[in-house]
Amino acid sequence: MSTAPVAARRIAGRQWGSWKPRLGDVGLRLLGVLAFFSVWQAATSAGLLGEAFGADFGPVRGLRALGRLTASGVLVEQSSASLGRLGLGLGIAVLIGAPLGVLVGYSRPLDAATSVVFQFLRMTSPLALVPVALVAFGVGSRPVVFLVAFAAVWPVLLSTAHGVGRVSPIWKRVVRGFGGGDRAVVRKVILPATVPDLLQGVRLALGVGWVVIVPAEMLGVDSGLGYQILDARDRFAYDELVATILAIGLLGYLTDLALRWLKERYSWSA
C-alpha cells in the first residue's frame, strides 16, 4: 500500500479528508495549529488588534483559563448541557429527516412538490425563528433543541434522499428473487446502501448544529457553552471567554472526527 500511487490511495479512501491522517501529515497538522496559535498570541500581546483586545484575548491565557475551568468542573457541566441539547436536536432531525429523505428519494412527484419549500426552509436562518421558538416552546432547553433540530433536519433529509438515489434497482430485484418482501428490501438494501449518505448528512447537520446552538443558548437558558460566553463577558472574564471559544472549537472538531470515522466504517464503493 505504501508504494501505491497517490491516486490509488485516494480511491481507497484513506487520503485527504480521512479521519485517520497519514503519519507524515500528523506533524504538518500540529505545525499548522502551532503556527495559528503563535500568530494569534503575537497579535494580542503586541496589541496589534487594538487596545480593547489585550493579552486576555490571547491563546496563552485562554488555555490557562481552559485548564482552570476544566479543573473546577464548570467546563464539563456546561459542555454536557450543550452536548445534550445538540444530541437531542440531531436525534430529532434524524428521526424526521431520514424517513422523509427516503420518501423524497423514492417519489419523484413528492420530490418535485417539496423541493422548493425544503430549499427555502433550509436557507431560512433558524435564528430568525427565535421569537417563534420562544412562543411555541417557552423559555428553557426546548426552544434551543427545536432550533438545532430545525437547522439539522435539512442536510439529513437531502443527503438521505441523495443516498436513496444510489440504490440500484438490481439489488432490490436480487432480494425479491430470493423471495424477500418489502421488509427485506429495506433491511438488506435500502438501509445499508443509504447509511453512508445519512451519516454524511448528520456530519453536515452537526456543523450547522454547533453554529446554531451557541447563539441559541444566549437566549433564556442558564447553562451551556453559549450561556457561558455571555456570562464570561458580563464578568469581564475575557480569558474565560477565549477558553469557551477554544472548547467549542475542540468539541466541534472531536464530534466531527467521530462522525467521519463512523461514516468511513459504513461507506462502500461500487
Partner 1 sequence: MERVNGAPERDGSDPRTSGPAPGGTGQAGVRRAGLVDEIIVVDGAGRTFGRGNTAVEALAATTLEVYEGEFFCLVGPSGCGKSTLLNLVAGFDRPDRGRVLVQGRPVTGPDPRRLLVFQDYGLLPWRSAIGNVELGLEIMGIPREERRSRARALLERVGLSVFEDKKPHELSGGMRQRVNIARSLAVDPDILLMDEPFGAVDALTRMGLQADLLELHRAGGKTVVLVTHDIEEAIYLGDRVAVMSERPGAVRATVNVDLTWPRDRTSAEFTHLREVILEHFRLVPERRAPEYSI
Of 21-29, 53-61, 157-165, 167-175, the window that binds partner 1 (rule: CB under 8 A) is 167-175
Question: Could you tell me if 90 and 202 are in contact, meaning their C-beta atoms sit under 8 angstroms apart?
Answer: yes
Q: How many CB atoms neighbour CB 203 within 10 A?
A: 19
Alpha carbon distances (Å) from 141 to 14, 160, 193, 233? 39, 28, 35, 22
Block residue for cell numbers 467549542? 248
Q: Shortest approach of partner 1 to residue 193 CB, angstroms?
A: 7
Of the residues 91, 180, 207, 220, which one makes contact with partner 1 according to CB under 8 A = 180
What one-character-per-residue DSSP string does 175-200 give? HHHTT--HHHHIIIIIHHHHHHHHHH
Question: Of 189-218, which residues contact partner 1 (CB under 8 A)?
Answer: 189, 192-193
269 interacts with partner 1 by CB under 8 A: yes
- What is the identity of the amino acid at 82? S
When asked if residue 174 is in the footprint of partner 1 (CB under 8 A), the reply is yes
Total residues binding partner 1 (CB under 8 A): 20
Q: Does 7 bind partner 1 (CB under 8 A)?
A: no
What are the grid coordinates assigned to 101, written together? 429523505
177 sits near partner 1 (criterion: CB under 8 A): yes
Nearest to 255 by CA among 141, 92, 90, 97: 90
State which residue, 120 or 178, has the beta carbon closest to partner 1. Answer: 178
| Binds partner 1 (CB under 8 A): choice among 10, 64, 162, 176 | 176
Q: Which residue has cell 484575548?
A: 57
Residue spans of alpha helices (H) in 125-222: 130-137, 141-165, 169-177, 182-185, 191-216
Options 153-161, 170-178, 204-212, 215-223: segment touching partner 1 (CB under 8 A)? 170-178
Alpha carbon distance 196, 260 (integer Å): 10
Nearer to partner 1, 87 or 180 (CB): 180
Q: How far is the CB of 120 from partner 1 (least distance, A)?
A: 34
What is the closest distance, in whole angstroms, from the C-beta atom of residue 184 to partner 1 in the complex?
Answer: 5
Residue from 111, 171, 237, 246 in contact with partner 1 (CB under 8 A)? 171
Task: List binders of partner 1 among 249-268 (CB under 8 A).
Answer: 266, 268
Catalog residues that contact partner 1 under the rule CB under 8 A: 168, 170-171, 173-180, 184, 188-189, 192-193, 266, 268-270
